[in-house]
Amino acid sequence: NAGVMQNPRHLVRRRGQEARLRCSPMKGHSHVYWYRQLPEEGLKFMVYLQKENIIDESGMPKERFSAEFPKEGPSILRIQQVVRGDSAAYFCASSPVGQGSGELFFGEGSRLTVL
Amino acid sequence: QKEVEQDPGPLSVPEGAIVSLNCTYSNSAFQYFMWYRQYSRKGPELLMYTYSSGNKEDGRFTAQVDKSSKYISLFIRDSQPSDSATYLCAMSEKTSYDKVIFGPGTSLSVIP
């Protein structure tokens, strides 16, 4: 499967727990983007990463959220001490190197439910 | 004012109708304009892509960009039930990476 792979597809957490969402970009893509989608809202940019570097995290909440894209392995979006407002679909997208044209390839998303 | 505005619908049309979807935006620095289609419980997929102003046609789909009015449109001819999805307009500035800003999406149902 050459597409963007996200897991888990569904995740249930209780308030105060941690959520870890993983994303493997398309083969040959080294740029990863995370977006959050809330009901009735569009996709909101969170963070853009390259291998071992956070390039743009202007959309990330200042607290409890972090992202990484290590040299080996998938990109991880980590949410600490989750609250009900974190319930959303989190999408990962990738693009080829230096494209800058707006063409993103999305995964199927990880749906987080906070009880 | 939101950066990108889009009528959320829902929009319901009979099969074979022409569908018009629209977005307005406020950031004059946007250079790339896209339409993504998102089926229920799936990730968005790129449908149409246009650089700067003008029209682009791909089969039953036509995308129009009017930068002077900050207005973009997507037309779907001979709509099919398989076109039932949420359509997200999207745009980005001309940078070295793809920080794409999305509209809230319009939900479309094509009734057989």
Contact B99 A4 (CB under 8 A): no
The pLDDT > 90 percentage for chain A reads 77
* Beta-bridge partners for A49: A32, A54
- A97 pLDDT more than 80: no
pLDDT in tens, B69-92: 999 999 999 999 999 999 999 998
By mean pLDDT, which of A84-88, A94-98, A108-112, B30-34 is the weakest?
A94-98
Look at residue B1 in the predicted model and tell me its pLDDT: 66
Cα angle value A57/A83/A35 (rounded, 5°): 35
pLDDT in tens, A31-81: 899 999 987 778 999 999 998 999 999 999 999 999 999 999 999 999 999
Confirm or reject contact between A106 and chain B (CB < 8 A).
yes
User: Average per-residue pLDDT in chain A?
Assistant: 92
What DSSP assignment string belongs to chain A?
A: --S-EEE-SEEEE-TT--EEEEEEPPTT--EEEEEEE-TTS-EEEEEEEETTEEEE-TTS-SSSEEEE--SSS-EEEEE-S--GGG-EEEEEEEE-TT--SS--EE---EEEEE-
The band of A99, judged by pLDDT with boundaries at 50, 70 and 90, is low
Q: What is the mean pLDDT of residues A75-97?
A: 94
Contact A56 B101 (CB under 8 A): no
Q: What are the residue ranges in chain B where pLDDT is below 50?
A: none
Confirm or reject contact between A69 and chain B (CB < 8 A).
no
Residue B17 tokens, joined = 């109708």
Contact B43 A91 (CB under 8 A): yes
- Within 8-47 of B, beta carbons closer than 8 Å to A belong to 8, 32-34, 41-46
- A113 pLDDT more than 90: yes
Look at residue A28 in the predicted model and tell me its pLDDT: 84
Residue of A nearest to B88 (CA): A42
- Which residues of chain B neighbour A95 with C-beta distances below 8 Å? 97-98
Q: Closest CB to A48: pick one of B46, B99, B101.
A: B99
Task: State yes or no: cis peptide before B10, omega within 30 of 0.
Answer: yes
